[in-house]
Amino acid sequence: MADPVAGPGVSFRRDLSEWRVALVAWRLLVLQAADPVVGAGMAEHSTYQAHPWRRVEHTLGSGRRLFYQDGEALRREVARLDRAHKRIRGTAPDGRAYDAEDAATRAWVLLTLFECVVAMRRLGGDPYDAGQLEAAYREFTGSVAAFGLPEGELPASAAELPAYFARAARERLEFTEATRYLLEDMLRGAPRPRRLWFLGDAGWRVLRVVVARAITALTVADLPPAVRERFGLVRTRRAALLSWLLHRGVGAVVPRLPDRLRYRSPEQGGAPARWRPPRQGRRRDARGSRVDRFFREVLDQTGDGFLTVHDLRAMAHNVCWQLELDEAAEARVYQAFDGWWEQLRAAMDANGDGKVSREEFVAATVAGCDRDPAYLEQGLLPALRAVFAAADTDGSGFLEADEYRAVFGGPRVHPAELSHGFRQLDVDGDGRITVEEFLHGFTEFFTARADSTPGTQLLGRA
């Protein structure tokens, strides 16, 4: 397939790849969360509360995968999304059943991605004309045809989109708890992005108050009028001015940049944070603090302070998303993480409510490692074996640096931090990690009393 950001003419793919799409990213999440099925799924299955930046990146990243791929790669991405959506179903707190495979919901999610790119152009002062809009929509529908949506779920032409969105606002959308949280609470409690490490926690707490107010005001100002009316949201003059200044300012600058600065490549993530070497701890027994950090930064995917089966499945989803696994390999990863959850539930869920608190997890893990040297073998290590097997894409029995990077890397992880983690696991220094080294490193993370022990800095900076 030709480079989507090269060549003349209108291209939806090219516009989706512009950096200024970040200005409508929060708007996109709010519109998607307003669908009651999406809102219910986010409440129970999503990691958006604990990992908001990753949630945005995955949403936009999946869009790039869909629209920048050749036919075979597009088919794999659609199959991956199909498998993920099969797991997102249940009953909402109000008693309504929800299922992410609902055709109308899938159409809404896809169309909001297209609509946000259209809004980005319009708000930036360079809107599509009627012909360009239809051309972009044909390009869009040509890719999403791979989802096999029933005939009639997508409007036949771009000219029908305004009526579609107005009807959805009147008849389908709701001010869900996920929508409310995105607009009112999420950014006020969002964790510090790793690239802003230099601010420190105190600096980030001050800055995020300003960021939260600005993004909330911008999002409300930019929502379609029918959606604002439906939710009783008011577009103030100050918010309208902020929207005009940001979109017009960025819209004037970004198109004049060279392509290497104007566009994200399909694989490109955000710039990594500057890396600092991890500090060596001198605590008598540092296991509790490490296990606590593992719970907060790795396990508690939903950010509610408790561990449930949905957190473990979200971890499995993130591993599978990074590696683009086939169905059989993906099933093995999910099965291993489900087994780990069963071990945790049996050992730590004393009242049988399907939740494990942070305090319960830390105390039980430290006590379990003290009581039984094989404690980790009952749950964590089988899950890690499945991750290792999935990451070993060439079947060599080793993790090379690029395979390790595919699992543990990401847009917010500095290459030096990845290299440090790799060296922690590569005990014999031969430039590759065996399954024994992989499991040994994680075992030391949970069992070593001193932070100076190799294997205890797998999460990077202390």
Q: Is residue 149 part of a domain?
A: yes
Q: Is residue 90 part of a domain?
A: yes
Higher pLDDT, 90 or 318: 90
Look at residues 255, 274, 306 and tell me which one is the last residue of a structural domain. Answer: 255
Same domain, residue pair 250 and 291: no
Same domain, residue pair 242 and 298: no
Q: Is residue 140 part of a domain?
A: yes
Q: Identify the pLDDT of residue 416.
A: 63
Q: Identify the pLDDT of residue 462.
A: 43
Mean of per-residue pLDDT scores for the chain = 79
If you count them, how many residues does the chain have? 462
pLDDT tens digits, residue range 205-255? 888 888 889 999 999 999 999 999 999 999 999 999 999 999 999 999 998
Same domain, residue pair 293 and 149: no
| Number of structural domains in the chain | 2
Q: Please tell me the pTM assigned to this model.
A: 0.62
Q: Are strands 433-434 and 398-399 parallel, antiparallel or unpaired?
A: antiparallel
Contacting residues for 256 by C-beta, under 8 A, at least 6 apart: none
Q: Identify the pLDDT of residue 220.
A: 95
Q: Please check whether residue 29 is in contact with residue 55, taking contact to mean a CB–CB distance below 8 angstroms.
A: yes
The confidence band for 1, taking pLDDT boundaries of 50, 70 and 90, is very low
Round to whole Å and give the CA distance between 219 and 30.
8
DSSP annotation string for 262-289? HB--TT--PPPPPP-PPPPP--S--HHH
Q: Is residue 282 part of a domain?
A: no
Q: Identify the pLDDT of residue 247.
A: 95
Look at residues 235, 255, 275 and tell me which one is the last residue of a structural domain. Answer: 255
Query: How much is the average pLDDT of 361-375?
Result: 78
CA separation, residue 87 to residues 31, 35, 74, 203 (Å): 22, 18, 21, 39
Same domain, residue pair 201 and 57: yes
| Two structure tokens written together for 321 | 């998303």
Q: Give the DSSP H or E segment for 91.
A: strand 89-91
Q: Is residue 421 part of a domain?
A: yes
Same domain, residue pair 86 and 224: yes
The confidence band for 441, taking pLDDT boundaries of 50, 70 and 90, is confident
Contacting residues for 436 by C-beta, under 8 A, at least 6 apart: none
Q: Is residue 460 part of a domain?
A: no
Same domain, residue pair 367 and 431: yes
Q: Which of 395, 396, 460 is nearest to 430 (CA)?
A: 396
Round to whole Å and give the CA distance between 34 and 227.
9
Round to whole Å and give the CA distance between 147 and 82.
8
Could you tell me the CATH number of the domain that includes residue 398? 1.10.238.10
Same domain, residue pair 230 and 359: no
Position 3 pLDDT exceeds 70: no
Of 67-71, 403-407, 415-419, highest mean pLDDT: 403-407
pLDDT tens digits, residue range 306-358? 888 887 787 787 777 777 777 888 888 888 888 888 888 888 887 788 888 88
Same domain, residue pair 327 and 246: no
Round to whole Å and give the CA distance between 287 and 279.
15
Same domain, residue pair 239 and 310: no
Look at residues 234, 255, 276 and tell me which one is the last residue of a structural domain. Answer: 255
Q: Is residue 264 part of a domain?
A: no
The confidence band for 277, taking pLDDT boundaries of 50, 70 and 90, is very low
Same domain, residue pair 228 and 157: yes
Query: How much is the average pLDDT of 279-291?
Result: 62
Q: Identify the pLDDT of residue 48.
A: 60
The confidence band for 302, taking pLDDT boundaries of 50, 70 and 90, is low
% of the chain surpassing 90 pLDDT? 25
The answer to which of 136-150, 164-178, 189-203, 210-224 has the lowest mean pLDDT is 189-203
Q: Is residue 275 part of a domain?
A: no
Q: Which of 219, 103, 113, 82 is nearest to 172 (CA)?
A: 103
The answer to which of 38-42, 62-66, 323-327, 442-446 has the lowest mean pLDDT is 62-66
Q: Identify the pLDDT of residue 31.
A: 94
Round to whole Å and give the CA distance between 284 and 412.
31
Query: How much is the average pLDDT of 59-74?
Result: 66
Domain limits for position 145? 12-255
Same domain, residue pair 92 and 174: yes
Round to whole Å and give the CA distance between 178 and 382.
34
Question: Could you identify the residue written with the tokens 């297209």?
Answer: 114
Same domain, residue pair 177 and 309: no
